[in-house]
Structure 1
Amino acid sequence: MKITTLFSKFYAYTFFFLTSSMIYAQFPMPDKVPIWDANKVTLGLHKLLENVYSVSPTTAENETTKGLAQATSAGFIVGNKGVLLIETMLDKRLYDQLYQLVRSVTKKSIVYAVNTSDHGDHCFGNYLLPKETIVIQNEFCRDNLAKNYDNIKQFMIMLFGKGRGIEESVYRAADITIPINQTMEIDMGNGNLVRLINVGTAQSPADLFVYVKTKTKNVLWAGNPFIAESPAIPWLFDGFFLEPVNNLNKIYNMIGDNDIVIPGHGRITNKAGIKYTIDYVTELKADVEDAVKKGLTLEQTKTTVTMKEFDKGYELFNWLHFNFNVPNAYKDIKANMK
């Protein structure tokens, strides 16, 4: 494996809502809680390419385009010396399903486990991994989980409900971390090269993209930044907007038209399937910039920037657009114009 610098820019982060239980009461809740029920999710296996597999809820194929929120996607690559696992899920029930799907393909040991986010549905199963497994995260992800694990657990319980196995999760530290604007490459053999890419904040500062280059075509695990295809819109509730817009475009422009894309919470798609996210943030940026130039307040901007052309049936549209996406765009754009 090797690590190479992609960019030299340094960023300092503040992670605004997972650090204090005082903020939980102020956090706007969606109409439906839990957003999806971990006690009811069944995971299915998809062979994408030779030795490359994705794992997603069995409901994802039919429900993604209906606008229904889906549980976390995952996957794994089988290499010469073992398995690279992508995500460890929210709880033991889902981790066990993921583990059994791996075992249905290979008895090789899980050498690596990669988390694409510090949100619990991507990493709370880490404590169930074999002791010898090497856990990989981006650097901010490792630091934030180390400092705020209990707070993040409470936040996940708030969104996904008690009695879903979240309470049992125990912090397990990452063994390898990838700093901002760096990438790590792992050669799994048989022509499958895994690139773990930290471009900075694309949804949260903890984002990590998994890009698998193979002999035939490439596969991107897009994580939370590209949460699903239309009608889903981005979950920009981590307090950032302008940097995510830049980094979403950076990843989008990196992948090819024929690449396979595994969104963080939706059915398997391709580059065209995630363009809806790019179109949404591009329009949101233009509309909010116009509102700020006109001197509108945040509340006036929320009334003006409704973006009904993107409200195509996603059940979380109003919760995300008006409570998080517009306010964070307004905050960043107004500060940038000073």
Structure 2
Amino acid sequence: MLKLTYKCTIALLLLLSSLTMAQMPMPPKVPIWDANKVELRLQKLSEDVYAIIPSTVGVETTTGIPQATTGGFIVGEKGILMVEVMLNKRLFDQQMKLIRSISDKPILYAVNTSDHGDHCFSNYLLPDATLIIQNEFAMENLSKNYEGIKQFMISLFGKDRGIENSVYRPADIVIPKNSNLKVELGGGKVVELMNIGTAQSPADLFVWMPQQKIFWAGNPFIAESPAIPWLFDGYFLEPAANLRKMYDLLPEGTVVVPGHGKITNKAGIKYTIDYVEALKEQVQKAVSENLTLEQTKARVKMPEFNKGYVLFDWLHFNFNVPNAFKDISSTQNK
């Protein structure tokens, strides 16, 4: 029964995707960030472990300006594991140049932490021998709805950013929900890939190096304050639980690479947890008082978390509050 429900959910999302994209409220500025202008750089995290980050994250993360995708790579005795492949060829080429400035070993694996195009659209540019790793939902959604996802990404990140050139390439290794995969690269480099379910979208995949205490957080933990989570994939209660689960799993001293921000630590992603838990509490109260969605949005403005993030109003009122209201109403009405 669980398997059937999961497949039905995928089918429903695919059926509604074009309608959802057509009706989706647009952010205050498109492109959200410009893939034709982003410059990537290296940041060493540990021996043979690197983050690849936009050059602007050090200043612009804390001033509330949305940042391009972060990634990284791990060099082991056997070869390299990449985290993310970026939105377009321009950024992929920068990524490859940075990797090759460190090592000429083969790229054995490329991990997509999401089915959003800025994490996976350059898969087609990888060497043929590289094995692409995704979670099960990401594989299903990309295989059936690639062109729709491209149009969605163009709507947010603009035309003529190389998105149109992306060609679908299927995953080679797929991780089911509530499953982990351990990849041993040699030389003490062990990488755990975790599909714990929806933390931002059903396509989430976390990358964890327990020995080095390095964590690629992907879209669920998008950045430090003042950024708030992008809960626009239609879910709230499962992400709220899984965000807390991942946060609690991380030991003190963990180096965190957010999905779109500067390198931080466990304390740096606590803002996401605080926002989600406060949102849950306030929407639960509104639902218990039988408020409508519009009344709930008028009440749950949460100014204490509106600290200058450019996308706060777009995300909070169009997605985060409505999805919390939908999930909580559904649960309380059972």
Give the shorter-chain TM-score range: over 0.9
Q: Give the alignment partner of residue 311 of structure 1, picking from 306, 312, 319.
A: 306
Structure 1, unaligned runs of 5 or more: 1-8
For 2:276, give the aligned amino acid: V
1:118–1:145: 8 Å Cα contact kept in structure 2? yes
CA 1:166–1:231 in 2, change beyond 3 Å: closer, same or farther?
A: same
Which residue of structure 2 lines up, in the alignment, with residue 212 of structure 1? 209
* Structure 1 residues 31-180: aligned runs within 5 Å: 31-180=28-177
Match of 2:320 in 1: 325
Q: Which runs of 4+ in 1 moved over 3 A?
A: 13-20
Q: Distance in 2 between matches of 1:110 and 1:19?
A: 36
For the residues of structure 2 that align with 1:95 and 1:125, how far apart are their CA atoms?
Answer: 7
Shift of 1:17: 7.5
Provide the secondary structure at the position in 2 that maps to 1:188: strand
**Alpha-carbon shift at residue 213 of structure 1 (Å):** 2.3
**TM-score of the pair, normalised by structure 2:** 0.96
TM-superposition CA deviations, 1:89-111 (whole Å, max 9, x none): 00000000000000000000100
Letter in 2 for 1:238: D
Q: Structure 1 residues 102-111 or 14-23, which shifts more? A: 14-23
* Contact 1:18-1:148 at 8 Å conserved across structures: no
Contact 1:16 1:238 in 2 (8 A): no
Cα 1:91–1:113 shift into 2, 3 Å: same
Q: Which residue identity does 2:80 align to in structure 1?
A: V
Question: Deviation digits for residues 5-50 of structure 1, max 9, x if unmatched?
Answer: xxxx866234648854333331000110000000000001011100
AA at the equivalent of 1:30: P
Give, in whole Å, the separation in 2 of the partners of 1:268 and 1:42.
16
Alignment of 1:214-233 (within 5 A): 214=211, 217-233=212-228
Alpha-carbon distance between aligned partners in 2 of 1:78 and 1:140, rounded to the nearest angstrom? 28
Deviation at 1:255, TM superposition (A): 0.5
Alignment of 1:176-255 (within 5 A): 176-214=173-211, 217-255=212-250
The residue type equivalent to 1:250 in the other structure is: K
1:300 aligns with 2:295: yes
Residue 200 of structure 1 aligns to which amino acid in structure 2?
G
Q: Residues 133 and 173 of structure 2 are in contact (CA less than 8 Å); yes or no, is this contact kept in structure 1?
A: yes
Give per-residue Cα distances to partners, 1:263-303, cap 9 Å, x unaligned: 00000000000000000000000000000000000000000
CA contact (8 A) 2:14 2:144 kept: no
> 1:253 is matched by which residue type in structure 2?
D
Residue type at the aligned position of 1:190: G
Residues matched between the structures, number: 328
Letter in 2 for 1:25: A
Match among 284, 291, 309 for residue 289 of structure 1: 284
Mapped contact 1:87–1:115 kept (Cα < 8 A): yes
CA-based RMSD of the aligned residues comes to 1.3
1:193 alignment partner, SS class: strand
Q: Deviations over 1:116-135 (max 9, x none)?
A: 00000000000000000000
Identity within the alignment, %: 62
Structure 2 CA distance, aligned partners of 1:203 and 1:336?
19
Report the CA distance between 1:192 and its aligned residue.
1.8
Residue aligned with 1:197, SS: strand
The offset of 1:190, in angstroms, is 1.9
In 1, distance between residues paired with 2:134 and 2:278?
A: 31
Residues 260 and 270, structure 1, Cα contact 8 Å, conserved in 2: yes
Name the SS for the 1:44 alignment partner.
strand
Structure 2, unpaired ranges of 5+: none
| Counterpart AA for 2:185 | M
- Give the AA of the match of 1:77: I
Equivalent residue letter for 2:319: F
**In 1, distance between residues paired with 2:21 and 2:135?**
25
Letter of the aligned partner of 1:117 in structure 2? S
The aligned residue for residue 252 of structure 2 is 257
TM-score (norm 1): 0.95
Distance, in Å, in 2 between the alignment partners of 1:43 and 1:274 is 22
| Aligned equivalents of 1:67, 1:163: Cα separation in 2 | 26
The 1:18–1:258 alpha-carbon spacing in structure 2 relative to 1, beyond 3 Å, is farther
Q: Does the Cα contact within 8 Å between 1:64 and 1:267 map onto a contact in 2?
A: yes
Secondary structure of residue in 1 paired with 2:28: coil
Q: Distance in 1 between matches of 2:192 and 2:18?
A: 36
SS state at 1:137 partner: strand
Give the AA of the match of 1:115. Answer: N
